[in-house]
Amino acid sequence: MNSKQPHSNTIAYRLAAALILALSIYSCANMSRPGGGPYDVTPPKFVKSTPAPGELNVSKQRVEIEFDEIIQVESPGEKVVVSPPQKDMPEIRATGRKVSILLKDSLLPNTTYTIDFSNAIVDNNEKNPLYNFAYAFSTGPKIDTLQVSGILLNASDLEPITGMMVGLHSNLDDSAFQKLPLERIASSDERGHFTIRNVAPGKYRLFALKDLNRDYRFDNPSEEIAFFDSIVVPTADVKLHVDTLWKDSVTIDTIIEYNHTHFYPNDILLTSFNEGFQSQYLDKEERTDRRKISLYFKAPADSLPRLKPLNFEGDDWAILERSVHNDTLHYWIKDSLIYNMDTLLFAAEYLRTDSLRQLSPYNDTLKFIMRKRVNKSTPKKEKKKETDSIEAPEIKFLQMTPKASGKLDVYKSLEYTFAEPIQSYDRSKIHLEQKRDTLWIPIADSLFNFQQDTLALRNYKLSYKWAPGETYRVTMDSIAFTNIYGLFTDDYTQEFTVKALEEYSNLYLAITGPTGPAVVEILDSNDKPIRSAPVVDGGAEFMYLNPGTYYARLYIDRNENGQYDTGNYAEKRQPEEVSYYPQALELKANWDVEQDWDIYETPVDKQKPDKIKKNKPKQKVRRF
């Protein structure tokens, strides 16, 4: 063993030396910033380009731009916009300090080209973006210099729209937007701002388009759009600007005067919308319950499909349960001879969107299969001996689900949902009582209502003018409800307390600005409406709001249908105008709050509170 020890030591020394060498190589190869210095927060700077910025009579399709440091181009397919729009995507590559752009489309004669990088150019290390960087050249003897700018918001919730195409048409016909590609384009940034650069003098129509098929025209009714009602005439003027440099807080060092070009219009507001078009077709058919078949359509419908049985006879074979818009249909089969069949066949006729995007009748054959499931793991029951006692069969009751907790809002009804459609119910077996001290005082049947929902036929409501802060009890005797299959309910008891008025807050919004019908919606912290009320005599009132933080949105209800309506380009109808109250509404228990609201006092793009704004510009984290 002693003779082998030197050899072992040699191996250990060699391994240690190799490990030290590897660590030193790794530390040399790992390019990290030396400690102690501040992080770079300066974006790249333009140095030069070929062709030069603003160069005339350009014929080459390749552009090369150099910066003062190594750069990257982030998401060039999304952020970099070439105007006039290109049919073939330009090839954009960053190498070191340079970015090269190859325009694959042939250059048009006497045309100004703009390559708008937005914030795509970033430095290699800290990813500091160079904002609003654009480059232009001309294939003719002059270059166009005018600009059109503004902001693009979602019409229904005033969210800034990012990355949506905004463009101009010199053809003023209404059909140009649908038949011809846009001539000059830009893309809205993370705040919804857009600037269409290098525009020639003239008259234009202004549009925004979420281009789904990259043809730069509105030829797909599913595309989101915006259109400006007025004709746009770009102009510019030069104004004298004065800047003052101070030696200290009281002493002027230098006054600098310079001319600055202002482009107009620079404050256009576009509100984007979707016309609500959806292709109609049968999305799914299923039979998860032997007694029920279901149809799911992709879009709302004004009419119901026709189903004709093919392997059984009968007209009144089912009870239909449908959604509000007829896009979800459940057929509850009444006859056991029918629903016990494993396969049901139907000839169906319904409306479907054709290749011309029109609704037309469509004939279909529907097959619903329901096979009995065999559970192989269930052990076989042993035969009972004659001495075994006879067990009474378990009674299966109709299932009823209440939608209420122990505390009920003073303005709400009690709601109940049954597992299957109800054939009949006995109103005399439904009792409502109010607690007085320790006694339960019956409430006359004539004083409370119990009725079926008009559409959701398995839902029922019990309504009463509840006394705030009081305790009630609902009792339903057994066999109060019987479904279409003969099952009945068990007896049921429910106790609950109605909230006291001191637990609520009341809100009144005194509104100025609307000249026609308007509706106010109270929103939660997720921008979802929880209550709505029409504006009456200059105000909207909301009683019995739970304490919390709320927000408010108003829309001009032009057609007085009590719901927000989108726009339509063919009808030249803008979406209904929306305003947000610019602050949160803090409501506390037992408070009555009255708040003034001038819907035009705050600019539209600054109305929506940041707390509920979903599209917020990303804040770059500075590290020191």
pLDDT digits (tens, 9 = 90+) for 45-63: 999 999 999 999 999 999 9
**pLDDT the model gives residue 22:** 46
What's the DSSP call for residue 409?
-
Judged by DSSP in three states, 53 sits in coil
Question: In whole angstroms, how far apart are CA 126 and each of 214, 320, 433, 439, 606?
Answer: 33, 62, 70, 74, 30
265 cis-preceded (ω within 30 degrees of 0): yes
Across-strand partners of 450? Answer: 462
Q: What span, in angstroms and rounded, lies between the C-alpha atoms of 44 and 99? A: 12
Domains of the chain: 39-143 (2.60.40.1220), 282-369 (2.60.40), 400-502 (2.60.40.3710), 504-612 (2.60.40.1120)
Phi (first) and psi of residue 201, to 5 degrees: -60, 145
Average pLDDT, the chain: 90
| pLDDT at 536 exceeding the cut of 50 | yes
Mean pLDDT of the region 186-198:
96
| pLDDT at 340 exceeding the cut of 60 | yes
Mean pLDDT of the region 109-137:
95
Q: CA nearest 519: which of 170, 166, 193, 156?
A: 156
Residue carrying the six token digits 């062709």: 51
How many residues are listed for the chain in this entry?
A: 624
**pLDDT the model gives residue 390:** 62
**pLDDT the model gives residue 221:** 92
Which helix (H) or strand (E) element contains residue 579?
Answer: strand 578-580
Strands 529-534 and 46-50: unpaired
Question: In whole angstroms, how far apart are CA 183 and each of 63, 84, 206, 408, 610?
Answer: 21, 6, 10, 60, 35
| pLDDT at 35 exceeding the cut of 80 | no
Please report, for the chain, how many H helices and E strands are present, in that order. Answer: 4, 44
CB atoms within 10 A of CB 415: 16
Q: What span, in angstroms and rounded, lies between the C-alpha atoms of 302 and 111? A: 50
Amino acid letter, residue 69: E
Please report the beta strands in 98-141, taking only residues with DSSP state E, as ranges in sequence order. 98-102, 112-118, 121-123, 133-138
**pLDDT the model gives residue 616:** 80
CA dihedral (477, 478, 479, 483) in degrees, to 10, reads: 100
pLDDT band per the 50, 70, 90 thresholds, residue 73: very high
| pLDDT at 24 exceeding the cut of 50 | no
Q: CA nearest 359: which of 279, 297, 274, 276?
A: 279
Lookup: tokens for 416: 């109940």
CA angle 523, 526, 527 (to 5 degrees): 40
Strands 505-512 and 591-598: parallel
| pLDDT at 31 exceeding the cut of 80 | no
List all residues 6 or more positions away from 221 whose beta carbon is below 8 Å from its beta carbon.
Answer: 275, 277, 357
pLDDT band per the 50, 70, 90 thresholds, residue 252: confident
Q: CA nearest 452: which of 418, 478, 479?
A: 418
User: Residue 477 burial (CB < 10 Å; 0-12/13-18/19+)?
Assistant: middle
Q: What span, in angstroms and rounded, lies between the C-alpha atoms of 297 and 348? A: 13
What's the DSSP call for residue 565?
-
Q: What span, in angstroms and rounded, lies between the C-alpha atoms of 182 and 484? A: 60
pLDDT band per the 50, 70, 90 thresholds, residue 23: very low
Lookup: tokens for 528: 């979802």
**pLDDT the model gives residue 118:** 92
Q: Residue 504 in contact with residue 546, Cβ under 8 Å?
A: yes
**pLDDT the model gives residue 457:** 93
Task: Say which range, 12-26, 165-179, 503-517, has the weakest mean pLDDT.
Answer: 12-26
Q: What is the pLDDT of residues 353-408, one digit of tens each?
A: 998 889 999 999 999 998 766 555 555 555 555 555 666 678 899 999 998 778 99
pLDDT band per the 50, 70, 90 thresholds, residue 28: very low
| pLDDT at 308 exceeding the cut of 60 | yes
Please report the beta strands in 419-515, taking only residues with DSSP state E, as ranges in sequence order. 422-425, 430-436, 439-443, 449-452, 459-463, 471-476, 481-483, 492-498, 505-512
Q: Residue 62 in contact with residue 100, Cβ under 8 Å?
A: yes
Q: Residue 558 in contact with residue 570, Cβ under 8 Å?
A: no
Q: What span, in angstroms and rounded, lies between the C-alpha atoms of 605 and 152? A: 9
90 cis-preceded (ω within 30 degrees of 0): no
List all residues 6 or more positions away from 166 whose beta carbon is below 8 Å from its beta carbon.
Answer: 152, 185, 186, 187, 188, 194, 196, 206, 207, 208, 209, 226, 270
| Residue 30 or residue 412, greater confidence | 412
Q: Residue 210 in contact with residue 224, Cβ under 8 Å?
A: yes
Q: Considering the entire predicted model, what is its pTM?
A: 0.84
Burial 30-62 (b: 16+ CB within 10 A, else e): eeeeeeeeeeeeebbeeeebebeeeeeebeeee
**pLDDT the model gives residue 12:** 47
**pLDDT the model gives residue 376:** 55
What's the DSSP call for residue 74?
-
What's the DSSP call for residue 18?
H
